[in-house]
Amino acid sequence: MPLFKKCRDFHLVKDVKEMGIYPYFHELESKQDIEVIMEGKRRIMLGSNNYLGLTVHPEVIEAGVKALEKYGSGCSGSRFLNGTLDLHNQLERELADFVGKEDCVTFSTGFQSNLGIISAIAGKNDYVFNDRENHASIYDACKLSYAEIIRYKHNDMANLEKKLSEVPLEAGKLIVTDGVFSMSGDMCKLPEIVELAEKYKARVMVDDAHGLGVIGEGGRGTASYFGLTDKVDIIMGTFSKSLASLGGYMAASNEVCEFVRHTSRPFIFSASIPPACCATALKALEIMKREPERVKRLGDLAEYLRDGMKKRGLAIRDADNKRVPIVPFYTYEQVRTLTIGKILFDEGVYVNPVLPPATTPTECLLRTSLMATHNEAIIDEALDIIKRVVEENA
């Protein structure tokens, strides 16, 4: 039968596994911290999105335990029906206030947040303008919306304007961009995007999954960093990174949030965030507000890591913001990238490979990322190992 022929013909994973350089699904046997036990061995974790290091914070863990004891393990229903807790409403109010918006809607995952927002807001007669390096969830959301997808070159504002100018001025238009791009650490050109949106009567949505807790006043994200919170119509984010939990959110005006609450199929037909996840996100947000020095420390460490890579001769990308804690370095060819990644893993350093289609075949990267709880000594230990392995596999 033809349906599974594509599965039988899919040999890439088998080939990479036979080469001994398969990089995925490593088993973690400890908490998500700066050092982890992975497959029985200590590894320096330079591949986590736990930017503020809050997944191991005692108060966050305690909040989750207490929520389990009070509410049980789940809500057994959607927010629309029996699945709304007081915790959900509290989290939405506090997130809206934190990022500077009127209202907020929470979703069960970050991926689902983009699906739920864009599929509700954009329709078949609308246009969604996507940076080519936007997250996959944004592209899948556009397909679900039936809007016309128009891609523009990464951070190329001239190309975006050209695309905008080719669409009727009165048509519904949404410009969607990552705030901080997850693989490269680049920042979007938000001031220019906002200016073009006003010129061509478009709305602006920022996916701030990697911006919340990382940049902006006290970690308030990309719009705050540029002083453009009032000019961004929709801010989306996740709980699985700086907020040390699982879930996602949309912050916007009350009228937009109310529309999404009552029309978004991914929101209406999904079970709500489990109590423990909601409580841990709330506690992480509380700590972020209480300890803004964590965000500053994260930025200081990002500069330290970047400078350390340069001093050791590693080829890194130029940064729009040197305080973004995503610092990839070039390994160029795919097999070399996977080989170096595997050797680093064996030597006790965990990093993430960035391969096509996220890059061109000759500009592959190994992505490092930091937590505010890292320290200079462990960064230097990891960098010395990286330098040696890269040089030995030149």
Measured distance CA(103)–CA(358) in Å, rounded: 33
Contacts of residue 99, defined as CB under 8 A and 6 or more positions apart, other chains included, come to 212, 220, 221, 223, 224, 229, 235, 237, 251
Measured distance CA(177)–CA(190) in Å, rounded: 9
Measured distance CA(182)–CA(49) in Å, rounded: 9
**CA dist 45 → 33, 157, 240, 305, 328 (Å):** 7, 36, 16, 14, 14
Contacts of residue 394, defined as CB under 8 A and 6 or more positions apart, other chains included, come to none
Neighbours of 315 (CB within 10 A): 13
Is the peptide bond between 357 and the residue preceding it cis, with omega within 30 degrees of 0?
yes
- Residues known to be catalytic: 182, 210, 241
* Residue 368 β-bridge partners: 327
Measured distance CA(276)–CA(61) in Å, rounded: 9
Under DSSP, the state recorded for 185 is: -
Measured distance CA(228)–CA(62) in Å, rounded: 36
Q: At what angle do helices 12-19 and 334-347 cross, to 10 degrees?
A: 50
- Tell me which H or E stretch contains 368: strand 364-369
